[in-house]
Structure 1
Amino acid sequence: MEKYYRANIIEEDFIELINEVTKSRIDKYGNIHEKLANRLDEESKEYSVLQSPVSYYTTINLPQGDIMQGFYFTKDAKFLFAVVAKKEEAGAEETYTLYRLSPTGNILDKMIMKNCGHGTVLAIEENKGEVYFWSDVPTGIKGKRLVRFKYKPNVIYYPSSSELEKYDNFGDTEVVYPVINDNYIILCRKTPSSWQAEKRFLVDVKSGKDEIISSIEIPVNLYWMQGITADSDYLYWLSGDTNGEKLPMLISRFRFSTGKMDVQLPLNYGEGTGGEAEGNYKEPEGLFLYQDERGAKSLFVGVVTGSYIDRNNKVFAYHSEENFVKFLGLKSQDIPKNPQVMQQKAITGPDGRWLFYVRAGSKIFDTLENFKGLATIYCEPGVLDSPSSDTSCRILANIQDVGIGNLINIDWKNRMWFTSIIKSNGALLPWQRVSTLGTSDTDWMNLQLLNGARLAWSYTPQYRQVNNRLQLKGSVIRGTSDIIGNLPVTHRPLRQVRLPVVGDGSLNTGRMTISTNGEIVINFNGLEAVWIDCEIDLNI
């Protein structure tokens, strides 16, 4: 006997209706949505973010002169990651640094992938609250190997590191650039004669299963690849060389369902206010499709401009309406890099950490040459004009005007302070030891020589303070003036002091005068060079 329901629907029809509704939750890509409404909502957004107007988002504050290769947001937009590559040794594989930054581009920490390649394209994966990256590393035999690793600040990984999860079924080509989009992973492979993007299930790759869902052949005129990202059925491809000299700068969109390109836009933004790129340099670098938990999307595009020593790592975005408001809120917290017009209002980044980050081999002065205001600075070990060049340090900068101001630092032992004045000739004056906490004693410090005066007989002119007594030592050859040096404020006598000085092996004497303004004047009296060894009481 047939069962009838209201509106005369029999049981068999009712079951078929349920099945039909269930099947309708599956979209054309095989994704099962929780509700039919979710599927329809998702398809309504399929117009592509490229239809949105492009807008400037931020400039990533990387170490001076560095060019980003790619960048990646976490889903909650709490962190932004950026990659910088360096060729450290001739004949060796490149090394890339993965920086973790605030969402507006201020450095928090980093990890180094030593000899692991250029880091051109990585895939970011969030798993149980942890951030993982996928990359390719050299195998030492042929091609590249696909790897996965957890982001860990302040560590160095090598291609052989046990912390790298290795997937050997997916390598053996020149590159294996990965991109992750929800449950899928895109592996973009390059051989000498082709580029192919393969779409696979992420779970298959993790289990070692070598199965391609669909693939796209990239046209030869787009081989100068600068960034890859993916969104459901779409693959976005950024291409073009510096200033578009050989190949134009383009964003191309392909569909896995057809294997064809359906949209292509010129990258015609990124220049300065005058209509030209800063330093006459412009290159696309990095592409990332961001999607939050609501499904709101943004396509971020990297554009680098500026001279070799002053790169501007700019980020632009095609936002959905929801994300435009979201990232505008984040952008409002941004602190401009090297502001030239406005007075700096904050001494730290929006996250409370340092405002500027100076990398080993770079200079503090170069970072601050266009800066005005207060700022905190973090220096890596090896910064060329750092007071603690063998260790990291933090510095407070107080710049009254461009090229005029001072810097204060406490060293890694938490016991010494330094100060330095920025000069307009592109350098810092020598760092001076101000005091030791709890005592007036200082270590030996090099005397700042002036007017062409220089050391004689390999004995460097130096000074130090022991209690209230100033000690000088070393030898000096006269320059263009009798004024051979200057002492810092904390090491000057209360009254002018005159002392005899002698030459090497000579009975002749000259006269050294140390003034209350710190000036050291030597009357050489016919001597070419003199010893300045002496000790004076600063308080008499």
Structure 2
Amino acid sequence: MSHTPLTRRGMLQTGGGLALAALGLGAGSGNASAAVPATRRFDLTKPSYDLYRHKPLHDDTVQQSFAFDSVNKRLFVAQRRNGSPSSAGDLCMTQLDFAGGYTTFMHLKGFGHGVAFGVEPVGGSSYLWTEVDANANGYGRRLARFKFSGGTTLDHSAAITKFAPVPGAVEYTCSIDPVHNNLTVRYHSDGAKHIIVYSLADARSGDFSKPKAHFKQPSISGTMQGYTSYGSYAYFMTGNAYSSSNPYPGNTYLSSVDLNTGTVKQGPTLTKAGSTLSFREPEGLAIYRTDAGQSRLFLGFASGDAGDRRSNLFYKNVLV
């Protein structure tokens, strides 16, 4: 496939709204660039505060991740669809208000695992950025952008915009920094995970030729349960549900990584957010800025019994 500017921009949109961006436009390997303007970072040692606890979602499985539409005041939570094996990549996207009140849902068939996703407000609508085209293990082989439509089911084969920014990558997820308008992509290639950051405007147009940062993810021990970015730092959460081998206070750790160097800046730092929850499995990170201008790093946890899993969100708000 051609890697020319014409392929990158002018020929992305095809009939019926389907777009498959040129595979791997301008995305090299290693530390391809270090062009993210320096910002402050969240202090992971500071206390966490509740947004809500024990809120039911549309399906009763464990939440996987979440993201905010701060313009339209919507919260979306991803979970595996009821009755569907994880290998199928079938997701349920539940829409909540900011108090955790249920609004509606959307089912996504054959999309992926749901480790992370992003939301882009467009007027009064919310566009989701997710993985899509699940492989045999249930992880998405591309990225997709589409309008959230409550009460509907969307199949991965539908005419939606799809992207595959990096040549040779076999799995993708993404997260949006809504404050600095960046799309952070985590992909699997050559046996390892990598991080690459684009401006959201470039990614939306299908131009992946100018990554702001690109590096192999540094070693972060533990089970990966979510990531996001804010300014010049990415944040990662690892851990497992409470169990006889993982009792209170659990093993949920947070780490920050400098996007301009690809190295760990802080952590792993144990978090006790939601420490009194039953079950308590770490699931998802996201960024939100309040109307008053306070930036927050949100942490998600699943709780409750099997067949009645609940959503819980907490946040940190100290920047240094």
Aligned partner of 2:143 in structure 1 is 146
Tell me if 1:201 matches 2:199: yes
Question: May I ask how many residue pairs the two structures share in their alignment?
Answer: 275
The residue that corresponds to 1:14 in the other structure is none
**Structure 2 residue corresponding to 1:189, chosen from 187, 194, 218:** 187
Whole-Å separation in 1 of the counterparts to 2:103 and 2:167: 32
1:138-177 aligned at under 5 Å gives the runs: 138=133, 144-162=141-159, 164-170=160-166, 173-177=169-173
CA 208–311 in structure 1, closer or farther in 2 if over 3 Å, else same: closer
1:123 aligns with 2:127: no
Q: Which has the higher strand share?
A: 2
Give per-residue Cα distances to partners, 1:316-374, cap 9 Å, x unaligned: 111359xxxxxxxxxxxxxxxxxxxxxxxxxxxxxxxxxxxxxxxxxxxxxxxxxxxxx
Decide whether aligned partners of structure 1 residues 249 and 133 sit closer, same or farther in structure 2, where only a CA change above 3 A counts: same
The equivalent residue for 1:318 is 316
Between the aligned partners of 1:218 and 1:125, the Cα distance in structure 2 is 25
- Cα 1:240–1:77 change in 2 (3 A) is farther
CA–CA distance in structure 2, aligned partners of residues 139 and 301 of structure 1: 26
Q: Give the AA of the match of 2:52.
A: T
In the alignment, is the contact (CA less than 8 A) between 1:304 and 1:314 conserved in 2?
A: yes
Q: Assess if the C-alpha contact under 8 Å between 2:228 and 2:286 holds in 1.
A: yes
* Ranges in structure 1 where 5+ consecutive residues have no aligned partner: 1-27, 32-41, 322-540
**Which residue pairs with 2:101 in the alignment?**
106
Task: Spell out the pairing of 1:105-504 with structure 2 (5 A cutoff).
Answer: 105-138=100-133, 144-162=141-159, 164-170=160-166, 173-181=169-177, 182-191=180-189, 193-211=191-209, 212-222=211-221, 224-243=223-242, 248-264=251-267, 265-272=269-276, 277-278=277-278, 281-292=279-290, 295-319=293-317
Residues of 2 paired with 1:238 and 1:257: CA distance?
A: 20
Match of 1:57 in 2: 51
Q: Distance in 2 between matches of 1:156 and 1:106?
A: 21
Structure with more relative contact order (C-alpha pairs < 8 Å, separation 6 or more): 2
1:192 Cα deviation after fit: 6.9
Say which of 67, 71, 90 aligns to 1:95. Answer: 90
For 1:267 and 1:253, locate their aligned partners in 2 and report how far apart those are by CA, in whole Å: 13
Structure 2 equivalent of residue 16 of structure 1: none
User: In the alignment, residue 178 of structure 1 is paired with which amino acid?
Assistant: C
Aligned to 1:50, what secondary structure does the other structure show?
Answer: coil
Q: What code does the residue aligned with 2:144 have?
A: V
**Inter-partner Cα distance in structure 1 for 2:63 and 2:86:** 22
Deviation at 1:64, TM superposition (A): 7.0
Letter in 2 for 1:230: S
Looking at structure 2, the residues matched to 140 and 53 of structure 1 have their Cα atoms a distance apart, in angstroms, of 39
- Structure 2 counterpart of 1:147, one-letter code: A
Q: Distance in 2 between matches of 1:84 and 1:171?
A: 29
Give me the whole-angstrom Cα distance separating, in 1, the residues matched to 2:190 and 2:35.
31
| C-alpha distance in structure 2 between counterparts of 1:92 and 1:227, whole Å | 19
Q: CA RMSD in A?
A: 3.1
Offset at residue 237 of structure 1 (A): 0.5
Partners of 1:225 and 1:295 lie apart in 2 by 30
How far residue 56 of structure 1 moved from its aligned partner, in angstroms, is 2.0
Cα shift at 1:99 = 1.1
TM, length-normalised to structure 2: 0.75
Cα distance in 1 between the residues matched to 2:299 and 2:46: 13
- SS of 1:173 mapped into structure 2: coil
Letter aligned with residue 230 of structure 2: D
Q: Equivalents in 1 of 2:67, 2:296: separation in Å?
A: 12
- Structure 1 residue runs of 4 or more that deviate by more than 6 Å after TM superposition: 139-143
Hey, which of these two has a bigger chunk of helix by percent? 1
The aligned amino acid for 1:145 is R
- Change beyond 3 A, Cα 1:143–1:74: closer
* 1: CA distance, partners of 2:311 / 2:36: 38
**Deviation (angstroms), 1:65:** 3.8
Q: Could you tell me whether the CA contact under 8 Å between 2:89 and 2:134 is conserved in 1?
A: no
